[in-house]
Amino acid sequence: MTVSLKSAAFRAERETSWRELEALLAAAQGRGIRALSARQLMRLPLLYRATLSSLSVARTISLDQNLLEYLESLASRAYLVVYGARRGLFEVAADFFARRFPRAVRAHLPHVALGAALLVAGGVTGFMLTQRDPDRFYAFVSPALAQGRGPSSSTESLRKVLYSSGEGQLGDQLKTFAMFLFTHNAGIGLLAFAVGFAGGVVSGWLLFDTGLMMGAFAAVYARHGLSFDLWGWLLPHGVTELTAVVLCGAVGMALGQALIFPGQEERLAALARRGREAAVVALGAVALFFVAGLIEGIFRQRVQDPGVRYAVALASAVLLLAYFSLAGRERSAQGARG
């Protein structure tokens, strides 16, 4: 043929830049994007855009299937590197706790309020019902959780649980116990979030049920005049843990809401948007469960004085409140300028 193909000339002209991009991508995917030098990082977006333009041209002028496929693949891989998640795990974590998590919690304030209301409603219901008929305790609390405690227990044995230093079976296993509590509770919390996918009703029910259980316990202890001691035992870790439970249940309900009432958006789009926000809260709640597990498993077993226990409960409540209401707020325009 005397006239060479336009597509072949096009390829000869641009091939060097494709090869260069290919080498950069191989380096970035093998050793991470941080392995690229400053010059290479400068070249990356340029080469990416050049390849995208080559791809558009090739689609209109070339019938070389291998070339088209190569450019599709090259462009898509470059796209993923150029627009992919770039930040390291630690940066993400720091940003998460400093900004994302508290902001996401504030964004879900109505759901959190509803979740807390459900928990309290469950607690009041459980308390009233159990007070009227102590045998209802068994309807609300599973035997595994009651650990032999119940309406028929004596004041002495009830008190003993609250002030056991954990010397019997747990004496030398406090750290293990703490981690067991953490993994167990975090598992339930994540479940409350994830079942939100089924419409959010189950998430709400899990909150109400937790309330029922606590109410039933409180009623039993109240009959023996041990209310003060019970809350001293429960609240130091309970403030953190119940916050985490409420957060998980709340975002579970938010997820269900997105599914049932998507509003102006398409249903799946609403689910995807709310799901991302909700996951932030659920992940943060896992961190709260971790702290609560430490307090519950180690601190509570060591500290017997009700005064100290209440002080810790109060302090954790104040800290959490301050964190969720203050952390991650945008500085005012003036503050940023000054």
Partner 1 sequence: MTAVNLGAEPGRQRALLTPEGVPVRFMVAAGGDRAGAFVLDVLFIVLAVLAFFLSIAFTGMGGDLVGALAFLFWFVATTLYFAAFELSWQGQTPGKRLLKLRVVDAHGGPLTAEAVVARNLMREVELWLPVKVFFGLSFGLALAGGGSWWILGAVIWIFLFSLFPLFNENRLRVGDLVAGTFVIRSPAATLLEDLTAALREKAADYPFTEAQLDVYGAYELQVLESVLRSAGTTGFADQVRTVAEKIRRRVAWEGAVPDDLAFLRAFYAAQRGRLERRMLFGKRRASKHDRS
Site for partner 1 in 177-196 (CB under 8 A): 178-180, 182-183, 186-187, 190-191, 193-195
Answer for which of 14, 40, 96, 224 binds partner 1 (CB under 8 A) is 96
Least gap, CB of 244 to partner 1 (angstroms): 14
CA 280 to chain centre: 5
Instruction: Kindly state whether residue 109 participates in binding partner 1, applying the rule CB under 8 A.
Output: no
Residue 165 interacts with partner 1 (CB under 8 A)? no
Burial class (CB in 10 A: 0-12, 13-18, 19+), 27: middle
Using CB under 8 A as the binding rule, whether residue 137 contacts partner 1 is answered as no
**Nearer to partner 1 (CB atom), residue 120 or residue 191:** 191
The answer to whether 253 and 200 are in contact (CB under 8 A) is yes
> What's at 274, amino acid-wise?
R
Residue from the set 37, 38, 85, 263 that interacts with partner 1 by CB under 8 A: 85
Give the DSSP letter string of 293-335. HHIIIIIHHH---HHHHHHHHHHHHHHHHHHHHHTTPPPPHHH
Which tokens in the block code for residue 155?
A: 């004041």
- Residue 4 binds partner 1, judged by CB under 8 A: yes
Q: Counting contacts by CB under 8 A, is residue 61 touching partner 1?
A: yes
In one letter, which amino acid is 148?
A: G
* Residue 8 makes contact with partner 1 by CB under 8 A: yes
Interface with partner 1, residue 214, by CB under 8 A: no
> Which of the residues 269 through 308 are near partner 1 (CB under 8 A)?
269, 271-273, 275-280, 282-283, 286
Q: Does 79 bind partner 1 (CB under 8 A)?
A: yes
Q: Hey, how many other C-beta atoms are within 10 angstroms of the C-beta on 283?
A: 15
Total residues contacting partner 1 by CB under 8 A comes to 83
110 near partner 1, judged by CB under 8 A:
no
Residue 174 · residue 301 · CB < 8 Å: yes
Residues 12-31 that bind partner 1 (CB under 8 A): 15, 18-19, 22
Q: How far is CA 308 from the centre of its chain?
A: 30
Q: Does 37 bind partner 1 (CB under 8 A)?
A: no
For residues 240 and 286, is the Cβ–Cβ distance under 8 A?
Answer: no
Question: What span, in angstroms and rounded, lies between the C-alpha atoms of 256 and 325?
Answer: 25
Spatial separation of the C-alpha atoms in residues 321 and 154, rounded to whole Å: 37
Choose between 75 and 116: whose C-beta lies nearer to partner 1: 75
CB of residue 335 vs partner 1: minimum separation in angstroms?
27
Q: Does 56 bind partner 1 (CB under 8 A)?
A: yes
CA distance 182 to 189: 10
Per CB under 8 A, does 163 bind partner 1?
A: no
